[in-house]
């Protein structure tokens, strides 16, 4: 039995995964009929899977919470939001911090009172934070120390209410610890939510210079979670356990990517709730610390950007570790180099090596494969995750292309976003009759395996972090000696891609990457800084329509 057949069988025999049709915003979709309708309900419904609340759920450094203890903290924060701050249904509440347990608690608490979480990129500068806060309309922000410091200049002009968390406590009048003190540890009541109400806004760099706020609903997030969960439920039908096989260990995941990105929130954090999984949380990426945590906490599931897989591989080699509890080692956010697949399998023989493709706009649901299928096709992205999704490959005119021909990957499922916040034209361009045009170009073969070949969008993916070329170019143009600028991706063995740029300078002046970094400090997040810079005193290459020819410039700079 194939996995697709096993999943179909599960939809017919397991009531949790029964599939029905539902009309959402005028479009008919396949949906799961009996799953929790909201993210808050997902947390409450997962207690049985979490050992009736007694199982250890979250580990952060030397701090530990059982599921009941974690949920009690969520409930206290929920009451603090509603009763202490007056936060209610539809209010947008921002979170700006590194990976702390409170970020996870706040996400669930905000959802539980019917408010909408605005996930703020923790690497953004004051200028970038200014844009996101104005765009989202969030007035209440929970932030750690560095983010508080960056937002203080915005408080009066934007009318912000900042609540300090961890090292942000004491920097502002409000602190989370004091706010939740003496609050009830029982669920808030009387919150009327619909499954198609908004759950979160996550910012994703697009082909325009400013990030786009992706509006996710409760249904879209929970649909993605159960689309992954059904794969684990159906897997024993594909490979039935044999007599004498040891009992499968409790699922245990390690979060190593930022929780303000969908790769960490959805297929790790939110999925851990109904999967009965334990979560270990890293404050920031450290490969050797990851090895130690995987061994100590018996982690079975690792998901990060390909750079982190490579770092983990090298750290394990240095430390003489094979990570015997690791059963699944996945990558998302960027394509893993094909050669890395066999290297990972050699170092971690107990693990199935996996790959995945998803977007913030799809709540991370999309394409994937694992194990032998991936070993045989290390250049491919995998198959569409069933049973709710459909896929088409379209040409520039919106027509379907034949199997094996290049087309734009276009997906339909209830996991798709509702819209881009405040951007109706961009929404209409991307969402068409329920189909989401991804901007990624690829081919599908007769067996359903999809290979992604190019991007229509001018995006650089540096270690899984999306960077809009126009965003970089706009910052470069602020330098007084820059006349024109063109940003593009430069291949990098570790990060996949880094930022490169060609600039036309006044009077033939030469600028180094270090010169430009000094100028851009405070104007552009460090991960967006051009690490390779080419200068010329004449106009940049243009195409037939007199637009700067990004591909030709990139090819000339890299001697392609």
Q: Which two tokens stand for residue 417?
A: 């976003």
Distance from CA of residue 197 to its chain's centroid?
A: 20
Nearest CA among 429, 349, 344, 441 for reference residue 392: 441
- Total number of residues shown for the chain: 560
Q: Which two tokens stand for residue 556?
A: 């000339």
- For the chain, the 3-state helix, strand and coil shares in percent, each to the nearest 5, are 35, 30, 35
Query: Strand pairing partners for 491?
Result: 497
Tens of pLDDT, residues 279-296: 999 999 999 999 999 999
Give one DSSP letter per residue of 131-179, joined into a string: HHHHHH---EEEE-HHHHHHHGGGHHHHT-EEEE-GGGBTTBSEEHHHH
Q: Which residues of the chain have pLDDT under 50?
A: 207
C-alpha–C-alpha distance, residues 231 and 488, integer Å: 37
Main-chain phi, psi angles of 525, to 5 degrees? -60, 150
Q: Which residue is it, tokens 């509006």? A: 215
Q: Any idea where the domains of the chain sit in the sequence?
A: 39-216, 459-558
Give one DSSP letter per residue of 280-325, joined into a string: EE-SS--HHHHHHHHHHHT--EEEE-HHHHHHHHHHHHHHT---TT
Fold for the domain defined by 39-216: Rossmann fold (3.40.50)
pLDDT at 207: 47
Query: Per residue in 248-259, is it b (16+ CB within 10 Å) or e — as a string?
Result: eeebbbbbbbbb
C-alpha–C-alpha distance, residues 307 and 134, integer Å: 33
Tens of pLDDT, residues 302-326: 999 888 998 999 999 999 999 999 9
CATH homologous superfamily for 459-558?
ANL, C-terminal domain (3.30.300.30)
C-alpha–C-alpha distance, residues 384 and 396, integer Å: 22
Q: Is residue 93 within 8 Å of residue 118, measured between CB atoms?
A: yes
Angle between helical axes of 306-319 and 287-297 (0-180°, round to 10): 70
Q: In what order do the strands lie in the sheet with 496-505?
A: 482-492, 496-505, 532-536
C-alpha–C-alpha distance, residues 263 and 256, integer Å: 10
- Cα–Cα separations (whole angstroms), residue 258 to 265, 284, 316, 524, 529: 8, 8, 22, 19, 19
**Cβ burial, residue 12 (10 Å; 0-12/13-18/19+):** exposed
pLDDT at 205: 65
Long-range contacts of 151-160 (CB under 8 A, 24+ apart): 151/96, 151/126, 153/126, 154/126, 154/129, 154/130, 158/130, 158/133, 158/134, 160/133
C-alpha–C-alpha distance, residues 404 and 277, integer Å: 39
Nearest CA among 298, 287, 224, 278 for reference residue 256: 287
140-143 and 161-164 strand pairing: parallel
Q: Which two tokens stand for residue 286?
A: 């450290």
Nearest CA among 531, 479, 523, 524 for reference residue 505: 479
C-alpha–C-alpha distance, residues 39 and 509, integer Å: 55
pLDDT at 281: 98
| Number of H-type helices and E-type strands within the chain | 19, 29
The model's pTM is 0.88
Q: What is the CA radius of gyration of the chain?
A: 23
Q: Is residue 369 within 8 Å of residue 449, measured between CB atoms?
A: yes
């Amino acid at each position: 039995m194939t996995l697709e057949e096993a999943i179909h069988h599960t939809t017919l025999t397991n009531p949790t995964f029964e599939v029905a049709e539902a009309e959402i915003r005028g479009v008919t979709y396949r949906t799961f009929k009996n799953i929790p309708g909201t993210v808050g309900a997902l947390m409450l419904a997962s207690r049985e899977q979490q050992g009736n609340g007694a199982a250890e759920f979250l580990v952060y450094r030397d701090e530990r919470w059982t599921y009941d203890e974690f949920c009690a903290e969520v409930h206290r924060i929920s009451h603090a939001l509603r009763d202490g701050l007056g936060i209610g249904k539809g209010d947008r509440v921002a979170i700006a911090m590194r990976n702390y347990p409170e970020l996870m608690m706040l996400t669930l608490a905000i959802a539980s009172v019917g408010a909408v979480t605005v996930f703020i990129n923790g690497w953004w500068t004051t200028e970038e934070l200014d844009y996101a806060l104005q765009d989202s309309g969030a007035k209440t922000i929970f932030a750690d120390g560095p983010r508080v410091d960056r937002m203080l200049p915005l408080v009066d002009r934007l009318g912000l209410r900042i609540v300090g968390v961890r090292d942000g406590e004491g920097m502002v009048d409000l602190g989370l610890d004091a706010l939740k003190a003496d609050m009830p540890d029982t669920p808030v009541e009387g919150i009327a939510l619909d499954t198609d109400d908004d759950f979160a806004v996550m910012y994703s760099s697009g082909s325009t210079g400013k990030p786009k706020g992706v509006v996710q609903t409760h249904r879209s997030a929970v649909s993605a979670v159960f689309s992954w969960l059904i794969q684990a439920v159906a897997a024993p039908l594909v490979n039935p356990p044999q007599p004498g096989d040891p009992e499968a260990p409790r699922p245990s995941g390690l979060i190593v990517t930022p929780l303000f990105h969908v790769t960490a929130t959805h297929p790790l954090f939110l999925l851990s709730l109904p999967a009965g999984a334990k979560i270990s949380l890293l404050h920031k990426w450290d490969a050797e610390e990851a090895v130690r945590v995987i061994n100590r906490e018996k982690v079975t599931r690792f998901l990060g950007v390909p750079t982190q897989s490579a770092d983990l591989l090298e750290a394990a080699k240095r430390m003489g570790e094979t990570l015997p509890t690791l059963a699944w080692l996945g990558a998302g956010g960027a394509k893993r180099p094909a050669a890395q697949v066999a290297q990972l399998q050699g170092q971690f023989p107990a693990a199935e090596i996996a790959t995945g493709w998803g977007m913030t706009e799809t709540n991370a649901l999309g394409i994937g494969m694992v194990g032998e299928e991936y070993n045989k096709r290390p250049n491919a992205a995998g198959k569409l995750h069933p049973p709710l999704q459909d896929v088409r490959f379209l040409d520039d005119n919106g027509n379907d292309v034949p199997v094996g021909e290049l087309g734009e990957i276009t997906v339909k499922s209830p996991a798709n976003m509702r819209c881009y916040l405040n951007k109706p034209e961009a929404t209409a361009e991307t969402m068409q009759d329920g189909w989401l045009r991804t901007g990624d170009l690829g081919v599908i073969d007769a067996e359903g395996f999809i290979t992604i070949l190019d991007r229509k969008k001018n995006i650089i993916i540096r270690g899984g972090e999306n960077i809009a070329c126009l965003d970089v170019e706009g910052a470069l143009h602020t330098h007084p000696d820059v006349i024109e600028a063109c940003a593009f991706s430069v291949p990098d063995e570790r990060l996949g891609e880094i930022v490169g740029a060609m600039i036309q300078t006044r009077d033939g002046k030469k600028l180094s990457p270090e010169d430009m970094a000094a100028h851009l400090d405070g104007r552009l997040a460090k991960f967006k800084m051009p690490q390779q810079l080419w200068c010329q005193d004449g106009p940049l290459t243009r195409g037939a329509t007199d637009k700067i020819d990004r591909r030709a410039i990139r090819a000339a700079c890299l001697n392609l």
